[in-house]
A and B are shown apart, each in its own frame.
Chain A
Amino acid sequence: MKVRIKFAKLGAMKFIGHLDTMRYFQKAIRRADIPIAYSEGFSPHMIMSFAAPLGVGTTSSGEYFDMQLAQDMPTREIVERLNGTMAEGMDVLSAVRVEDGKASKAMSLVAAADYRVTFREGKEFTSDWKEKLKEYISQPQICVFKKTKRSEKTVDIKPYIYQFAIQGDKIHLQLAAASSNYTKPEQVMDGFAQWLGIEQKPFSYMVHRQEVYADNGNEENHQFVTLESLGEEVE
C-alpha cells in the first residue's frame, strides 16, 4: 500500500534542511515501527519520495512525502504512531492511501503552492508597501532575474503568479511549483524590492508554505487540488 503523509514544519524546524528532513523521517518511521517496504540490493533503503523541497528558513504546514508499505496499516494509526515520536515543530497532519504507480508520485504531481509572506517587524520595504505591491503585481509583465546553475536570465514570472491577495499584514501568493515553472516567493519579493529601487534589509520577511497542489485541469484551465485530496483514509 502506498501512503501519502502530510506534515507541518514549524518553529525551529525551519532550520532543518531538506536532506536532513528526509533523514529525520526515515528515523521517525523506524521509531514508529511502520512496516515500510525496502528496496532490494546489498544495502536496502526505505521506499519513499518527497514532494517539493523546502528551503532552510521557511516554515510550512503543507509538506508531503509518499511511502510504500510492506503491510497495510490503518491510516489513522500511521498518523498516531508517527506523532508519538515527533520533535517539537514537526507534526504529521494526515496520512492517506494513494494509487500505486509512477504517475502518482508526489514529486511529479506538484503544480502549485500557496505561500504566506509577512514582513518582520520594522523591516517593511516602505510604509505604503501594500499599495505598491498591488501596483507591482498588476503589471502586465513582471520581469525578474533568475539565476540557474548555468545562466542568469530575465524571466517574466507574471504567468506563474496564480493568485495574490493581501489580508491585514499578510501577503498571500499562489505560485507555480512544477519543475518547469517553479517560482519562489523570494523571487516575487526580491523582484518587488528591486522594482521599488530599495536596498532591502537582510531577512526582511518570513515565508510560510501553506499547501501544495496537483493540477487536475490543464494549462488553460487549472484545477488545483491538494496532494492530500488525491488519496483516501483507510481503516
Chain B
Amino acid sequence: MRKLALNDEILLEIESPARYIGGEVNSVMKDKAAVDIRFCMCFPDVYEIGMSHLGIQILYHLFNQREDVWCERVYSPWTDLDAIMRKENIPLFALESQEPVKNFDFLGITIQYEMCYTNILQILDLAQIPLRASQRGEEFPIVIGGGPCAYNPEPLAPFFDLFYIGEGETVYDQLLDTYKANRQAHGTKADFLRKAAQIPGIYVPSLYKETYNENGTLASFSPIEEGVPEKIQKQVVVDMTHSFYPKTLVVPFIKATQDRVTLEIQRGCIRGCRFCQAGMIYRPTREKDVERLKECARELILATGHEEISLTSLSSSDYSQLEELVNYLIDEFKSRGVNISLPSLRIDAFALDVMSKVQDIRKSSLTFAPEAGSQRLRDVINKGLTEETILQGARDAFLGGWNKVKLYFMLGLPTETEDDMKGIAHLAEKIAMEYYDTVPKEKRNGKVQITVSTSFFVPKPFTPFQWAAMYSKEDFLGKAKVVKEEIRAQLNQKSIRYNWHEADVTILEGFLARGDRKAADVIETAYRKGALYDAWSETFHWEIWMDAFKETGVDLDFYTLRERSTDELLPWDFIDAGVTKEFLKKEWKRAISEEMTPNCRMKCSGCGAGRYKGGVCVESKN
C-alpha cells in the first residue's frame, strides 16, 4: 500500500483527512523511475474546491497520457494542517506519490481568481520553495502559472518562472519536450527559460523589465534581451470537437463542491457583455459537436459513477445543438438515477420545458442575470436582456408552477446613476406584481419569493471596462443602501430579499486584477502577516492587507479609484489576447454613448479574434 506523507496522529486530528490521502478512483499512479518528468498540478484552494475544477482534470489526464510524464495533484492545506506542517517542518507533498513537491520538475498552478494569490504563496512556502523565482536555484521545480488571471500576470510575476497565456491543451507538449531536450543537453534553468520564451503563449517574466513614470503609471515594458518576443500571443484550441477531453475523471472520496461529470459544450461567448472578462479572453466562441458530447457523457458516467452530469459554458443557451443534447441526456440517464444540471440557461419556453423535466419545480428557482437595473445601463454594458423578456419569462414560469426567482445585479458599473440603482428594486417589484397578476389565488403555491443579489463591479483586463474607475468602500456600501431602501419602499417588499457582496474584498480584487509588478510586494507582505484563504469570508482580514499597503508604500486608491486614460500603457498590454486594444477602445466609447454592439452571430464586429480562424468567426453568416 502507498505510504502516506502524514502520520495517523495528524490525519486523525485534522478536519477531512481524505483531502490529503490521494488514492482516489481514476487517479494515476506511475513508476517514478520510468518517467522523465514529474509534474505537480496545483489548484491553490482547498481540496473540495480544487477537485471541482474541470481545467485541472483535463490537463492532468492529458499529461498522464504521455509515458514520459507523471502528473500529480496538490491543493491548499486547510489552516489546521497548515499550522501542523509549519510546526513539524513537513514539506508539502503531492497526493499521488505523497512525495515532496520541491523534488518535482514542474509545479503548475492554475490561477482562477485573484483572491487565491496568498494561497499561491502558501503553496510555495509549505513546499519549502523560495517565494521569488530569483531566489530559486537549479534544484527547485519550474513554477508555471496559467488560467484567466494569467492574462494580467504582473502582480504575481516575481513568484513564477513562467506563465502560460491561453488554453492549456495546446503547447504544453512542446514545453515538456523543450524541458527534456534542455536537460539532455545539460542546460541550466536559465537556458530552459530562454528556450521556453520562444514557444508561443509562454511568458517568462524574468526576461522583461518595466519602468515607471513619476506619476506611478507604466512608462515602458520590454524584453531585456534580443530575441525575446515583445508580445505574447494567447493560444487557443481551434477545433474543440477533436481536442483532448479526458475519458475519465478523478473521483474524490469526499463530496467536492461540484461532485459530478462536467461536459464543456463550448468555449467562449458570442454576447460581448462589456464587463465580462471570460467573454473576451475566450474568443472566438467554439462549439463542440453534439455527437462527441454524447460520447463523452456516456464514457464519463461509466468511468466515474457520478450521479449528476452538468453542462458547462458561458451562456449555454447559445449552443446551437442544445435541445438535441439535453433531450438525449434526459432519455439516456434520467432512469438510471443520473441528474442533469443546466446552469446559465436563458429563461424561455425551451428552458422551462427542460427545467420542468430535470428538477423539482417546487424546490427550484428561476435565475435571471440582468446585471443592471435599468435599460439604459444594460445598454451601456451591452447586456441584451430587456425588461419585457424578463417579465415574459417570469410570467411563463409562474404559470408553470415556479414561485422562486433569483436576480443578479452589479453595482458600481460605469455611468451608473441613482436611478439605475433604484431600477433594481423596481424590476424586482414588477416581477412580484407579475406573479400576483398572472397566477390566480387558488393556483398559487404560496407567496412569490424573489432574491436580489448584488455584487460590486470589478473592472478586468481585456474588457472594454479595463480603463474604468472603481469606487471606495463607503461609496459601494452607499449604493447597496440605496437599493435596500428602495426595495423597502415597494409594495411587495415582503416578497423580496436582498443581499449584497462584501465591499472590501471587491476592492482588493480590483487592485490585484489590474495591478502591476509593484503589487507583488503587497501580496508577499500580506501573506507574511498572515493573509491566507482571502476568498473565504471567515478567513479574510482587511486589516492585514491595509497594513501591507502601509508597509510597502503602495497606494491602493491609485489602482482602484482612478479612471485610466486610453493612452496609458497598461501592465497587460504586452499580451495579445485576441481582442485588439482598438476594439476594446471602440467598445469603451460605445458604452459611454449607450450604444449596443451586436453579438458575433448577428454581425462580426472585427474584434481581432478572427485571426484564430475558428469557431463563430468562420461559421457561415447570412
Q: Does B430 contact A (CB under 8 A)?
A: no
Question: Contact at A27–B21, with CB atoms within 8 Å?
Answer: no
B9:A202 contact, CB within 8 angstroms: yes
Could you tell me if B305 and A30 are in contact, using CB atoms closer than 8 angstroms? yes
A27 to B: closest C-beta gap in Å: 3
- B23 and A20 form a contact (CB under 8 A): no
Q: Known contacts A88-B2, A88-B23, A203-B12; decide if A24 and B303 are in contact (CB<8 Å).
A: no
Q: Does A53 contact B (CB under 8 A)?
A: no
A146 contacts B by Cβ under 8 Å: no
Q: Are B305 and A12 within 8 A (Cβ)?
A: no
Contact with B along A28-62 (1 / 0, CB 8 A): 11110100001000111110000000001100000
Q: How many angstroms from the CA of A235 to the CA of B8 in the assembled complex?
A: 42
Alpha-carbon separation in the docked complex, A105 to B21 (Å):
33
Task: Indicate whether A23 reaches chain B with its CB closer than 8 angstroms.
Answer: yes
Find out whether the CB atom of B253 lies under 8 angstroms from the CB atom of A24: yes
CB neighbours of A30 from chain B (8 A): 301-302, 305-307, 336-338
Q: Which residues of B contact A86 (CB under 8 A)?
A: 25
Q: Which residues of A contact B304 (CB under 8 A)?
A: 27, 31
**What chain B residues lie within 8 Å of A43 (beta carbons)?**
337, 339, 360
The B-contacting residues of A in range 186-235, CB under 8 angstroms, are: 202-203, 206
- A87 adjacent to chain B (CB < 8 Å): yes
Which residues of B lie under 8 Å from residue A20 when comparing CB positions? 18, 253-255
- 28 of the cross-chain contacts (CB-CB < 8 Å) are A12-B4, A12-B21, A15-B17, A15-B21, A16-B253, A17-B18, A20-B253, A20-B254, A26-B305, A27-B25, A27-B251, A27-B304, A30-B301, A30-B305, A31-B304, A31-B305, A38-B336, A38-B337, A43-B339, A44-B337, A45-B337, A56-B12, A56-B17, A86-B25, A87-B25, A87-B253, A88-B2, A89-B1
Q: Indicate whether B24 reaches chain A with its CB closer than 8 angstroms.
A: yes
CB neighbors of A among B21-56 (8 A): 21, 23-25
Q: Is A85 engaged at the interface, CB distance under 8 Å to the other chain?
A: yes
- Mask of B270-308 contacts with A, CB within 8 angstroms, 1/0: 000000000000000000000000000000011111110
Q: Are A87 and B18 in contact (CB under 8 A)?
A: no
5 tightest Cβ-Cβ pairs between the two chains A and B: A27-B305, A30-B305, A31-B305, A15-B17, A12-B21
A159 at interface by CB-CB < 8 Å: no
CB–CB B307/A203 < 8 A: no
Smallest distance from the beta carbon of A10 to chain B beta carbons, Å?
Answer: 8
- Complex interface: chain B residues within 8 A of A42 (CB): 360
Q: Complex formed: what's the CA distance from A171 to B101 in Å? A: 40
CB distance from B363 to the nearest CB of A (A): 9
Which residues on the B side are within 8 Å of A85 (C-beta)?
25, 305
Q: Which A residues are CB-close (under 8 A) to B13?
A: 202
Complex contact A12–B2 (CB within 8 A):
yes
In the complex, besides A38-B337, A43-B360, A44-B335, 13 extra interface pairs with C-beta distance below 8 angstroms are A11-B1, A12-B2, A12-B4, A12-B21, A20-B254, A27-B251, A27-B305, A27-B307, A30-B305, A30-B306, A30-B307, A30-B338, A86-B25
Contacts of B307 in A (CB 8 A): 26-27, 30
Contacts of A15 in B (CB 8 A): 11-12, 17-18, 21
Q: Is the CB of A89 within 8 A of B253?
A: no
Query: Quick check: B305 and A89 within 8 Å, CB to CB?
Result: no
In the complex, chain B residues whose CB is within 8 Å of the CB of A89 = 1, 23
* Residues of A contacting B23 in the complex (Cβ-Cβ under 8 angstroms): 12, 87-89
A16 to B12, CA, bound (A): 11
Chain B positions within 8 Å of A, measured between CB atoms, are: 1-2, 4, 8-9, 11-13, 17-18, 21, 23-25, 251, 253-255, 301-307, 335-339, 360
A203 touches B8 (CB 8 A): yes
Q: Are A87 and B305 in contact (CB under 8 A)?
A: no
Cβ of B12 and Cβ of A23 under 8 Å apart? no
Give the residues in chain B near A28, CB-CB below 8 Å: 25, 305
Q: Which residues of A contact B8 (CB under 8 A)?
A: 57, 120, 203, 206
- Taken residue by residue from 93 to 121, chain A's Cβ proximity to chain B (1 for < 8 Å, 0 otherwise) reads as 00000000000000000000000000010
* Closest chain B CB from A228 CB (angstroms): 24
A88 CB, nearest partner CB in chain B, Å = 5
A23 to B302, CA, bound (A): 15
Q: Are A31 and B1 in contact (CB under 8 A)?
A: no
Cβ of B305: which chain A residues have Cβ within 8 Å of it?
A: 26-31, 85
Specify which chain A residues have a CB less than 8 angstroms from the CB of B1 in the assembled complex. 10-12, 88-89
**How many Å from the CB of B407 to the closest CB on chain A?**
26
Contact A57/B337 with A12-B4, A85-B25, A88-B23 known, Cβ cut-off 8 Å? no
Interface centre among A15, A33, A42, by most chain B C-beta atoms within 10 angstroms, is A15
**A151–chain B nearest beta-carbon distance, Å:** 27
Interface string of A73-96 (1 = CB under 8 A from B): 000000000000111110000000
CB distance from B322 to the nearest CB of A (A): 23
Minimum Cβ distance to chain A for residue B187 (Å)? 38
CB distance from B304 to the nearest CB of A (A): 7
CB distance from B329 to the nearest CB of A (A): 15
A46 touches B18 (CB 8 A): no
Q: Which residues of A contact B337 (CB under 8 A)?
A: 30, 38, 43-46
Minimum distance in angstroms from B57 CB to a CB of chain A: 16
Task: Please tell me if the beta carbons of B2 and A203 are within 8 angstroms of each other in the complex.
Answer: no
Q: Tell me, in angstroms, the Cα distance from A38 to B335 when the chains sit together.
A: 8
Docked Cα-Cα span, A27 to B307, in Å, equals 7
Q: How long is the Cα–Cα vector from A217 to B18 in the complex, in angstroms?
A: 40
Complex contacts, A56 vs chain B, CB 8 Å? 12, 17
Is B303 within 8 A of A31, CB to CB?
yes
- Return chain A residues, CB-CB under 8 Å to B253: 16, 20, 24, 87
A23 and B25 in contact (CB under 8 A), knowing A11-B1, A30-B305, A43-B360?
no
Residue of B nearest to A16 (CB): B253
CA distance A44 to B196 in the complex (A): 52
Q: How far is the CB of A59 from chain B (nearest CB, A)?
A: 11
Question: CA A87 – CA B251 in complex, angstroms?
Answer: 10
Q: Bound complex: CA of A111 vs CA of B8, how far in Å?
A: 30
Which residues on B sit within 8 Å (CB–CB) of A27?
A: 25, 251, 304-307
Complex-state Cα separation, A57 to B12, whole angstroms: 7
User: Within the assembled complex, what's the spacing in Å between the Cα atoms of A192 and B459?
Assistant: 64
Chain A residue numbers with a CB within 8 Å of B335 are 38, 44
- Give every chain B residue within 8 A of A23 (Cβ-Cβ): 255
B338 to nearest A CB, angstroms?
8
Residues on the B chain within 8 Å of A120, using CB? 8
**Considering the chains assembled together, what is the distance between the CA atoms of A86 and B25 in angstroms?**
7
| Chain A nearest Cβ from B482, distance in angstroms | 41
Residues of A within 8 A of B18 (CB): 15-17, 20
Chain B residue nearest to A46 in the complex (CB): B337
Instruction: Give every chain A residue within 8 A of B303 (Cβ-Cβ).
Output: 31
**Known contacts A11-B1, A27-B304; is A87 also within 8 Å of B24 by CB?**
yes
Instruction: Name the distance in Å between A70's Cβ and chain B's nearest Cβ.
Output: 10
How many whole Å from B10's CB to the nearest CB in chain A? 10
Tell me, in angstroms, the Cα distance from A175 to B587 when the chains sit together.
75
**Measured between alpha carbons, how far is A121 from B538 in the docked complex, in Å?**
39
Chain B residues near A203 (CB-CB < 8 A): 8-9, 12
Report chain B residues within 8 Å CB of A33: 302
| Closest A residue, CB atoms, query B306 | A27
Closest to B13 in A: A202
Residue ID in chain A nearest B248 by CB atoms: A31
- The CA of A217 and the CA of B8, in the complex, are separated in Å by 39
A residues less than 8 Å from B301 (CB atoms): 30
Closest-by-CB residue of B relative to A30 is: B305
Can you name the residue of chain A whose Cβ is closest to the Cβ of B12? Answer: A57
B-side contacts of A46, CB under 8 Å = 337
Cα distance, A86 to B24, chains bound together (Å): 9
**Chain A residues with Cβ under 8 A from B251's Cβ?**
27
Interface centre among A45, A88, A120, A206 (most CB of B within 10 A): A88
